[in-house]
A and B are shown apart, each in its own frame.
Chain A
């Protein structure tokens, strides 16, 4: 796929629409969920991790429900897929289809070419998280509920940091490879496996999705502050992966 500015906007818009549809559906079912919460708790009780999730929603009300549905479920699951797929194609895709030579042959520095591509993909993956989060207050208004916009933006920033780290690691691999399909399969398999680990008691602490669970977002909301001990390593990982990608890209042969 050709990734001009128009392409980035199109893909970003597509991801926004998917996330927004999921968010609208989640908000629409909030009254039903609230009404059936006792039954849901009873169903989730045998599985400790599920039970914990439902308890958190019960504890924090609509805010817990929204961060669970939108950030923990929608953005982290779909966002991971979008980040991996977009990053895998970014450089390896050019090599795979043979267009890398005409991409690199122009009088534009490699640093600029790679940074543009990296930022473009990051925009596609992260911008829809912020945009969809910005629509939450209006959607909740339908049920006379609300969430503070600054809380939502802080949560979006945290979520964006998580996705940026996954995106950047996949991008680094893309800079070293010519097989986008392999990158996509392996990274998606790992993501699903790590997400599955989250639901298994005893090993849940090994899951990266602990970084974006409901408790984390609710801590950000209740403290009115970013969770820097969690966010900083994710941002550091992003910066490190970007630097390594740049190093690899400068030595890249068409």
Chain B
């Protein structure tokens, strides 16, 4: 082997709590037989979801998987067609106003009123909230370094995202629905935003967070719900996902070095599945310890030397393609 690159099991990251099947009540979200269609496109197939109060739940999936539609349905932005939604013990009805009073929502799409100053925009976003929400939002925006006296059209992409975040995190509500809230942020700002989310969740707030960023999901979420093509394809604790990710070994080979079908040589005791992809092979181990497999790999005569071996360090897309057979982001 030319290079042993990484041995970075995800299981070494922060401990997580497994999702607990508590009945949904105050602070929780319940979705029952929810379906939604835009014209002829079925955006969401029959979906059932129970999110108990407290903690951060990650909503993951590729573009067009139905994440934003689900979030908009939960806030009443998209009218309910079929199924039932209960948020904080309140069933969705009419235009969803009672639910919007109990939740905050930060949209994934970043369109703001450029002609307003940051300070004015916060006031606009927080209309209908208690007065102290605005003070808190300004304080959070100040901590994030946002220039509230400048017009929003002068803001960068990341600054606009932070403005939406400040407005979504400031009001005291039991539930927050945050769509791609850290998209476009630099690592330092992302960390700051996640710290605020973690602190808010620690106070008992339920947070539904959609993200394409595995690090973010891995750090903050206690439970992951994966959507694909309008269906929930996986719903499990992040600990379980980490454990499974930790069993994935990725081998890279020099271009053309890997003969088709030769990866089958890796099958054997301790290996759950082998996936061959051009110059790459993903191997799902049946246990957490890769040493037995790596020893067998070293002695495998039928394979060329890999250019790299990675264990537990994969992208979200690869993780879900490997785990669930669907394309990730």
A22 to B105, CA, bound (A): 48
A residues in contact with B116, CB < 8 Å:
2
A residues in contact with B275, CB < 8 Å:
none
| A-contacting residues, B70-99, CB 8 Å | 72, 75, 77-79, 94-95, 97
Asked if A106 contacts B112 (CB within 8 A), the reply is no
B-side residues, CB < 8 A to A, are 38, 72, 75, 77-79, 94-95, 97, 100-101, 105, 107, 109, 111-113, 115-116, 124-129, 164
A-side residues, CB < 8 A to B, are 1-2, 4, 97-99, 101-102, 104-111, 250-251, 253-254
A residues in contact with B107, CB < 8 Å:
101-102, 105, 254
CB distance from B38 to the nearest CB of A (A): 8
A30 to B164, CA, bound (A): 57
Known contacts A2-B115, A101-B111: A108-B105 contact under CB 8 Å:
no
CB distance from A40 to the nearest CB of B (A): 46
A108 to B97, CA, bound (A): 7
Known contacts A2-B115, A109-B95, A251-B79: A102-B125 contact under CB 8 Å:
yes
Asked if B111 contacts A97 (CB within 8 A), the reply is yes
The secondary structure that dominates the A interface is: loop
B residues in contact with A253, CB < 8 Å:
38, 72, 77-79
CB distance from A138 to the nearest CB of B (A): 36
* Cβ 8 A contact of B97, one of A98, A99, A109: A109
A2 to B123, CA, bound (A): 13
A99 to B78, CA, bound (A): 15
B78 nearest CB neighbor, chain A only:
A253
A108 nearest CB neighbor, chain B only:
B128
A254 to B127, CA, bound (A): 18
Extra contacts, 9 of them, besides A4-B124, A101-B72, A250-B79 (Cβ < 8 A), are A2-B113, A2-B115, A2-B116, A101-B77, A102-B125, A106-B125, A106-B128, A107-B101, A253-B38
A253 nearest CB neighbor, chain B only:
B78
B residues in contact with A99, CB < 8 Å:
111-113
Asked if B125 contacts A104 (CB within 8 A), the reply is no
CB distance from B179 to the nearest CB of A (A): 10
CB distance from A4 to the nearest CB of B (A): 8
A4 to B121, CA, bound (A): 11
A4 to B109, CA, bound (A): 22
CB distance from A92 to the nearest CB of B (A): 14
A107 to B38, CA, bound (A): 24
A102 to B160, CA, bound (A): 13
Asked if A107 contacts B128 (CB within 8 A), the reply is yes
A244 to B101, CA, bound (A): 26
Asked if A254 contacts B77 (CB within 8 A), the reply is yes
A250 to B125, CA, bound (A): 20
* Cβ 8 A contact of B100, one of A2, A98, A105: A105
Pull 27 A–B residue pairs with CB atoms less than 8 Å apart, ordered by A.
Answer: A1-B115, A2-B113, A2-B124, A4-B124, A98-B109, A101-B72, A102-B111, A102-B112, A102-B124, A102-B125, A102-B164, A105-B75, A105-B105, A105-B107, A106-B100, A106-B126, A106-B129, A107-B97, A107-B101, A107-B129, A109-B95, A110-B95, A250-B94, A253-B38, A253-B77, A254-B72, A254-B77
* Cβ 8 A contact of B127, one of A97, A101, A106: A106
CB distance from B266 to the nearest CB of A (A): 48
A254 nearest CB neighbor, chain B only:
B77
A residues in contact with B126, CB < 8 Å:
106
A residues in contact with B72, CB < 8 Å:
101, 253-254
A2 to B120, CA, bound (A): 11
Smallest CB-CB A-B distances: 9 pairs: A98-B111, A107-B128, A107-B100, A110-B95, A107-B101, A2-B113, A101-B107, A108-B128, A105-B105
CB distance from B37 to the nearest CB of A (A): 11
B residues in contact with A98, CB < 8 Å:
109, 111
Known contacts A99-B112, A99-B113: A104-B77 contact under CB 8 Å:
yes
